[in-house]
Amino acid sequence: MNNLRNTLRKAAIIAAPVVLAIATTAPRVRI
Amino acid sequence: MSMTSTLESNTRRVTLAVAVVAVDLGTKITATRLDHAPDAGLITPLRNPDYSLGIIHAESLWLIAGTIAVLAVAAWAYRRAANPTASWWVGPLVLGGAGANLIDRAVFGSVHDFITTPWVVFNLADVAVAIGLIGFYHDLHTRQRQEGRCTP
């Protein structure tokens, strides 16, 4: 149970900045 | 930490965040004016009404609300984690960059981009957020290495 919690915590810590980057930056793909 | 040094470090953080907002908005205004030049080289002023790379498309008001919600949760989690090896400039760079794009979207309904690469067009606020997040991962790595050394 603790292992699962630790894995989820680590996954959240790594994924959170990606979500933050998507929501706060606005680069635009060149057409 | 003494009260004076806490005040000094908070002043330093606020100064950096405000500087990021000012420089970003200043360069966006300048780049928009350069649009009329016949050859602006690496500068192509464009506007992005969506989130990063068009990943999420919605009404500007929803995107603004989403950014504020994500920032609030991130700030809460970052303070709660209280990483002692954290670099002081990580928070101000992310907050300043995010704030500058948020102001842009709130005022104009979309974000101004102008720095041109063959694949994407971006702005200085995007660069500030990216550097801040690289700093975050670096701090995380440093902390994990130190904790690994401490535990037998």
Q: What residue ranges do the domains of chain B occupy?
A: 3-150
From chain A, the residues in CB contact with B47 under 8 A are: 28
Average pLDDT estimate for B28-57: 84
Average pLDDT estimate for A2-26: 92
- The Cα angle at residue B57 between residues B125 and A29, in degrees rounded to 5: 55
To the nearest whole Å, the CA of B43 is away from the closest chain A CA by: 12
From chain B, the residues in CB contact with A27 under 8 A are: 48, 52-53, 113, 120-123, 126
Q: Minimum mean pLDDT among B33-37, B57-61, B109-113, B121-125: which range?
A: B33-37
What interface predicted TM-score (ipTM) does this complex get?
A: 0.88
Which residues of B are tagged catalytic?
113, 126
Supply the mean pLDDT for chain B: 90
Contact A17 B136 (CB under 8 A): yes
Residue B99: what pLDDT?
A: 98
Residue B93: is it exposed, middle or buried by C-beta count within 10 angstroms (0-12/13-18/19+)?
buried
**pLDDT tier, B82 (very low <50, low <70, confident <90, very high otherwise):** confident
Q: Which pTM does this prediction carry?
A: 0.90
Residue B85: what pLDDT?
A: 81
CB B47 within 8 A of CB B37: no
Residue labelled with tokens 């200043």: B26
Contact B126 A25 (CB under 8 A): yes
